[in-house]
Amino acid sequence: MKILLINPPNTNMILTHLPSYIDEESGIFPPLGLMYLASSLSNKTGINVEILDALLNKISLNNIANKITNYLPDLVGITATSFTLIDALLIAKTVKEVNQNIHVTMGGPHVSIYPNETLLQKDVDSVVIGEGEKTFSDLVNNLNEGKNLEGIPGLAFKNKQGQIINNGYRDFIENLDEIPLPDRNLTPYKEYYSILGEKHPITTIITSRGCPFRCSFCYHFLGKKWRTRSAKNVIEELESCVNIGIREFWFFDETFTIDKKRVLDICDGIISKKLNIKWNIRSRVDTIDKNMMERLKLAGCEKISFGIESALSKTLKVLQKEINPDKSKEIVLLAKSLGFETSTDFMIGSPGETREDILETISFSLKLDPDYATFSITTPFPCTQLYNSLLENKFFDRDYWKDFSISPSKDFIPNLCNEYLSREELAHLQNYAYKKFYLRPKYILKKMLKLKSPIDFLRKAKVSLRMLASREK
């Protein structure tokens, strides 16, 4: 049985509310979820799996059709977020135009929220809901053996009569160490990069799943219960990457620093194995301290990203981000003093925010003076507490994300949730924030002195020039 897993391009990506000079130039990371699915089939005889990263190589639909024609897969799996749904569905259509008998399955956050709505699309045969390794493996087994798909937890599908059958959710995998390590050799792993990266190639890694915090703007695709891989299992993956020449890692755990002992154990493993790697993590300001930072630094961690969100306690309360600005300032300054590169994420245009509030957050970002900052416009995404509460309070008159899932349109624009400022005013303030932060002469000089290579210079210069020329409102 032949399987082709496809990461869609972003040709028809819906509006992200990020300036184009940021959205288009940040870099491309490997499709980690597809790599995990491929590895989940690694011990099955007679199963051949390939991954096609159409995003990395900007592969057109015609070339995707040629790949399908030449490879002749029995099953095509496509990952889809809310942003890439249009492109994912266009790939599904392309598959069926090549051969109607190829089974098309989709997975990812968006289709997990709206599985039945996704199956209304004529070119989609099944949807993997939530965590995919076991469900996808069962799907492959049943298709390969000609068995019925009913009874596979975590799968929704259309039967031969075209009826939608939803088997419900599958329990999350408790022991993450039992999941085979993602197979990077199935991708052109040497080609992935980040504009903020220092070594080449880079890769991503996830050492835990789920998030125990209550932020109202987040969708917990992998659950609210925090599940972890052991330090030994993490080190095994790092070693396997080092063996193929990868020495820079972006840890994509939602919050890496929840369990101090586990963090220290991973650091000690990196140090004792003398892996000589560079790595970046995401943290909250209330789950990290000086002792942890010092050990992270010894182990080669160079950059920490913090979700600061706002300078205002009232906005943090609305977002249910249980931190305070004073703590944010303390931890960011501590990280800088210990030699870490710091990155901070801010949100503007949350419910209740005025223009003056947003300007205060922009001013706060300058006081923190991290190495990098992002400014996103607060957008209510499906299945988040923020979106649900806005629906309940009639801020929106309908579930427009559900409508989009039923009738996807390239012209779809997600709604915003600020009652005082228009979309154009928020976009103008966002553009102002980026220029105010990144076009400071002192900041530019500091970054020029830290340039690592001609490629590094060209990538960052391209973003800077686009920012200068930007007239986005």
* Angle, CA of 61, 65 and 69, to the nearest 5°: 170
Alpha carbon distance 411, 403 (integer Å): 13
Pairing relation of β-strands 248-251 and 278-283? parallel
Residues 5 and 51 sit within 8 Å (Cβ to Cβ): yes
Alpha carbon distance 110, 42 (integer Å): 27
Alpha carbon distance 113, 130 (integer Å): 8
Alpha carbon distance 44, 153 (integer Å): 20
pLDDT in tens, 15-62: 766 666 555 557 899 999 999 999 999 777 789 999 999 999 899 999
Q: What confidence score (pLDDT) does residue 27 get?
A: 84
CATH class of 196-379+416-438: alpha beta
pLDDT in tens, 108-152: 999 999 999 999 999 999 999 999 999 999 999 999 999 999 999
pLDDT category of residue 291 using cuts at 50, 70 and 90: very high
**DSSP labels for 229-272?**
--HHHHHHHHHHHHTTT--EEEE--S-TTS-HHHHHHHHHHHHH
Query: Nearest CA to 393 among 405, 408, 380, 404?
Result: 380
Q: What distance, in Å, lies between the first and last C-alpha atoms of the chain?
A: 51
Superfamily of the domain at 2-166: Response regulator (3.40.50.2300)
Amino acid letter, 386: L
Q: What confidence score (pLDDT) does residue 195 get?
A: 80
Alpha carbon distance 108, 219 (integer Å): 12
pLDDT in tens, 153-195: 999 999 999 999 999 999 999 999 999 999 999 999 999 988 8
Q: What is the DSSP letter of 304?
A: E
Domain with CATH 3.20.20.70 in the chain: 196-379+416-438
Q: What confidence score (pLDDT) does residue 405 get?
A: 96
Q: What confidence score (pLDDT) does residue 472 get?
A: 46
Query: Nearest CA to 46 among 183, 141, 135?
Result: 141
Query: Nearest CA to 286 among 316, 255, 265?
Result: 255
Q: What confidence score (pLDDT) does residue 200 get?
A: 78
3-state secondary structure of 105: strand
Amino acid letter, 70: N
Q: What confidence score (pLDDT) does residue 194 get?
A: 87
pLDDT in tens, 217-239: 999 899 999 999 999 999 999 99
How large a percentage of the chain has pLDDT more than 70? 93
Q: What confidence score (pLDDT) does residue 378 get?
A: 97
CA dihedral 458, 464, 466, 467 (to 10 degrees): 170
Alpha carbon distance 31, 41 (integer Å): 16
Give bridge partners of residue 52 from the DSSP assignment: 6
Query: Stretch 82-108: mean pLDDT, rounded?
Result: 97
Query: In sequence order, which ranges of 44-169 are alpha helices (DSSP H)?
Result: 61-71, 85-98, 109-113, 115-118, 133-144
pLDDT category of residue 468 using cuts at 50, 70 and 90: low
Q: How remote is the C-alpha of 183 from its chain's centroid? A: 19
How large a percentage of the chain has pLDDT more than 90? 86
3-state secondary structure of 347: strand
pLDDT higher than threshold 70 for residue 337 = yes
**DSSP labels for 279-293?**
EEEEE-TTS--HHHH
Consecutive H or E run containing 27: strand 27-28
Amino acid letter, 175: N
pLDDT in tens, 415-459: 999 999 999 999 999 999 999 999 999 999 888 877 765 555 455
Q: What confidence score (pLDDT) does residue 354 get?
A: 98
Q: What confidence score (pLDDT) does residue 473 get?
A: 40
pLDDT in tens, 249-269: 999 999 999 999 999 999 999
Q: What confidence score (pLDDT) does residue 459 get?
A: 54
Query: Nearest CA to 88 among 118, 49, 117, 116?
Result: 118
Alpha carbon distance 109, 82 (integer Å): 7
Buried b (16+ CB within 10 A) or exposed e, 315-334: bbebbebebebeebbebbeb
pLDDT higher than threshold 90 for residue 302 = yes
Q: What confidence score (pLDDT) does residue 20 get?
A: 61
The residue length of the chain stands at 473
Domain with CATH 3.40.50.2300 in the chain: 2-166
Q: What confidence score (pLDDT) does residue 86 get?
A: 96
